[in-house]
Structure 1
Amino acid sequence: MKKYSILLAFLIGMYFSPTVFAQDEQAIQQVIATLFEGMKAKDLSKIEPAFLPAAQMQTVNAAPAGATVGTNTVQDFFNRIATTPVETILDEQILDYQIKIDGQMASAWTPYRFYVNGAFSHCGVNSFQLVKTSDGWKITYIIDTRRKEGCD
C-alpha cells in the first residue's frame, strides 16, 4: 500500500508541477509587461509595484577599450519616468521572453527595441532577476545592454 501511495504522490506532483511553472512564467512575464506599459504611460502606480524597494538597475556601456557599468537605484528610475515630459513617449518593445525559475527565484532574458516618440532609439537585452514574495514576483535587479547597430 505504501508503494502505491508514493507512486500516487509522484504522479500528482508530475501533473501539477508544469502547471505551477507555467503560471509562474506567465506571472513573471506579466510583471515585466506591466512595467513597460507603466513606463510608456508614465504611470508610477504600474511601475513601482514591479520592484522590491532596494532593487538595483545597471547598464553595460560598451566601449572599444572595454565595457563599463552604470548603476542607478530603482528610485532614480522612478524619478526619471515621473519627470519625463508628457509629450515624450518611451516605448520599450520586448521581442522575446526566456524565463528560468528555481523555486522562488527567477531570471528573465528579454531582447528589446526602444523607441522615443515612435523613432527607433536603440536595442539590446534586459536581464531581470526576480524573487517570489508574498505579494507575487518582484524585480530585484536589472542589467541591460544598449546599442544602435546589429538590431535586426
Structure 2
Amino acid sequence: MRFFLPLALLLAAPALQAQDGVPSAEDDVRAVVTELFDAMRAADSSRVRAVFHADARLHTTMRQGEDTRLVEGSLANFLTAVGTPHDEMWDERVDEIVVHVDDGLATAWMDYAFYAGEQFSHCGVNAIQLVQTDDGWKMLNLIDTRRRECEDTM
C-alpha cells in the first residue's frame, strides 16, 4: 500500500504537465482581440463579424475643446467600412493587451495607433468587454478614445 501512492503520483505527473500547454482564458481573449485587428488589416468583414456578439455595441469618446463627446457606432456600418475596398490597409497597431477575466466576463485594455497604410491617423485606448459563449469569447462592448497626438505612435 505504501508503494501505491508514489506510483499513482508518478503516473499522474505527465497528465499534470500536459495541462501547461492549455491556453488560459486570458490567452483566448487576447487571441480574439488580435483576430479583430488581423481581420481589419485583411479587410475581411466576415472575420471581423465573427469576433463580435450579436448584441455588440461600439462607442467612441473624443475631446472637442473642453468637452468630451460620446459617439455611438453601428456594427453594421463598421463591417461595411472594413469590407469596402480602400486604397490603404487599415492597420490598428496595439500595445500590450491587458486582460482581466472573471467567469464568463473579460475586459481587454490596450493603447493603439491607427494607420492608413503608413500614414498615421489617430491613436488612443481601446477598452473591450467580452463574454464567453458556446462559440468562444465574443466582443460585446468596444469603446475607444481618439486623439491626433500621442506620446508614442507605435
Q: Which moved more, 1:126-135 or 1:76-85?
A: 76-85
Number of the residue aligned with 2:130: 130
Number of the residue aligned with 1:7: none
1:54 is paired with a residue whose SS is: strand
Q: Identical aligned pairs, as a percentage?
A: 33
C-alpha separation between the residues in 1 aligned to 2:151 and 2:58? 22
Larger radius of gyration: 2
Q: Which amino acid aligns with 2:82?
A: I
Number of the residue aligned with 2:112: 112
For 1:89-104, list aligned pairs within 5 A.
89-104=89-104
C-alpha separation between the residues in 1 aligned to 2:93 and 2:58? 18
Q: Which moved more, 1:61-70 or 1:34-43?
A: 61-70
For 1:1-152, list aligned pairs within 5 A.
23-85=24-86, 87-152=87-152
Do the aligned residues in 2 keep the contact of 1:54 with 1:73 (CA within 8 Å)?
Answer: no
C-alpha separation between the residues in 2 aligned to 1:64 and 1:24? 40
Aligned residues: 136
Q: Which amino acid aligns with 1:64?
A: G
C-alpha separation between the residues in 2 aligned to 1:59 and 1:24? 27
Do the aligned residues in 1 keep the contact of 2:45 with 2:80 (CA within 8 Å)?
Answer: no
Do the aligned residues in 2 keep the contact of 1:61 with 1:145 (CA within 8 Å)?
Answer: yes
Cα RMSD for the two superposed structures? 2.2
Give 5+ residue unaligned stretches, structure 2.
1-15
Q: Which amino acid aligns with 1:51?
A: F
Q: Which amino acid aligns with 1:92?
A: E
Give the TM-score normalised by the residue count of structure 2: 0.81
Q: Note the C-alpha offset of 1:67.
A: 0.3
C-alpha separation between the residues in 2 aligned to 1:136 and 1:116? 30
Q: Note the C-alpha offset of 1:26.
A: 0.7
Q: Note the C-alpha offset of 1:80.
A: 1.2
More helix as a share of residues: 1
Q: Note the C-alpha offset of 1:119.
A: 1.2
Do the aligned residues in 2 keep the contact of 1:54 with 1:74 (CA within 8 Å)?
Answer: no
Q: Note the C-alpha offset of 1:22.
A: 5.7
Do the aligned residues in 2 keep the contact of 1:51 with 1:139 (CA within 8 Å)?
Answer: yes
Give the TM-score normalised by the residue count of structure 1: 0.82
1:67 is paired with a residue whose SS is: strand
